[in-house]
Amino acid sequence: MKPEQVKKLSLGYYPTPLQRMTRLEDKLGAGPLYIKREDLSDIGLGGNKIRKLEYLVQDAVQQGGTALLTYGGPQTNHGRLTVAAAVRQGMKAILLLDGEKPAYYSGNLVLDGLMGADIRFIGDQNEEELTQKVVREYAERNEKVYVIPMGGSNTLGALGYIQMIPELMDQIGEEHLTTKALVCGAGSMGTFAGLWLGAAYYHAPFEVVGVTINPYTTYTPEGICQYINAISREYEMGIECRPEQLHLERAYAGLGYNVPDEKTMDAIELLAQTEAIFLDPCYTGKVFNGYVNMIKNGTIQAEDAIFLHTGGIPGLWSTEHMDALQKRVGGKQ
């Protein structure tokens, strides 16, 4: 079955806007520059995971699932949007999160709780054993749990971003753009892999440039190509990825996962103060920092370059970042 033939739910508001950033252009002396607003994709404050979840939750419904279970860190954006998708479908939502329960809920955790998620912290438990325990517990209540991988990053979830490419190509055509670069985050790799494969499959005129968000990532070009090729085979796409074809930028990943450096925070302020658009310190702030610097140093063609805003705004209000923001913003008053 081809990607365009696979069934999906309608969970988001599409097409998401493609907006020109004129004040940023003035600041950088480059452009035209554009932003694809996946943060405005509707439910649960929006974000890129909704496109993946349209396919994953459709599969859950087809299999008779009544509850969605997924994984992540305490501030997982994917987790928040999985809960939102469950709410929209009248399903239960279960989050198994890394670490111990915090003394104070903030950011995404507050939103997860408001939507009624069953939030459990893995701590020192075995993740697989805890998953099986929860599945059995829900089965005793006549609930069938559908398990979604971290980030929604499997072959099915990747279809969401394969199928974003025709939408974006239509917008580029309508605006008569000469885009040569689409800059996106590369975290759990589902979005990047889907976009790369979609660009190849639909003969997009631009290169997909991935900015890694974790300096200690274990993903290699070889492993990413294996993932891409598995998707291609499953959906009869006829595309073969080779490691040398991937464009991944690793210089903007900050100090660690969810640990931004000062340049990331500067980039967040830059977009806020030029376009009144907010980014988060874990993902989009790092990617936008890469986008700006690649324009400045000529790594990508500035004219009509597109930055993919994947959402994640609640991370700004997490305890992990509020103290730093107080010092940065409050100190200026």
**Mind listing the pLDDT tens digit for each residue in 112-166?**
999 999 999 999 999 999 999 999 999 999 999 999 999 998 999 999 999 999 9
CATH topology of domain 3-47+154-330: Rossmann fold (3.40.50)
**Are the C-beta atoms of residues 152 and 190 closer than 8 Å to each other?**
yes
Give residue 299's pLDDT: 96
Give residue 122's pLDDT: 97
Q: Collapsing DSSP states into helix, strand and coil, what is residue 286?
A: helix
Give residue 128's pLDDT: 96
CA 78 to chain centroid:
7
Give residue 23's pLDDT: 98
Give residue 331's pLDDT: 67
Specify the pTM: 0.94
Q: Alpha helix locations (H) across the chain?
A: 22-28, 49-62, 77-89, 108-114, 127-139, 159-162, 164-175, 190-201, 221-234, 262-275, 284-297, 319-325
Of 41, 124, 38, 119, the C-alpha closest to 76 is 119
Q: What is the mean pLDDT of residues 73-95?
A: 97
Residue 68: phi and psi, rounded to 5, are: -110, 130
Tens-place pLDDT, residues 223-259: 999 999 999 999 999 999 999 999 999 999 988 888 8
| Residue limits of CATH 3.40.50.1100 in the chain | 3-47+154-330, 49-152
The residue count for the chain: 333
Cα(161)–Cα(147) distance, integer angstroms:
20
Percent of the chain with pLDDT over 90: 88
CATH of 49-152 among 3.40.50.1100, 3.90.79.10, 3.40.50.720, 3.40.50.10470 = 3.40.50.1100
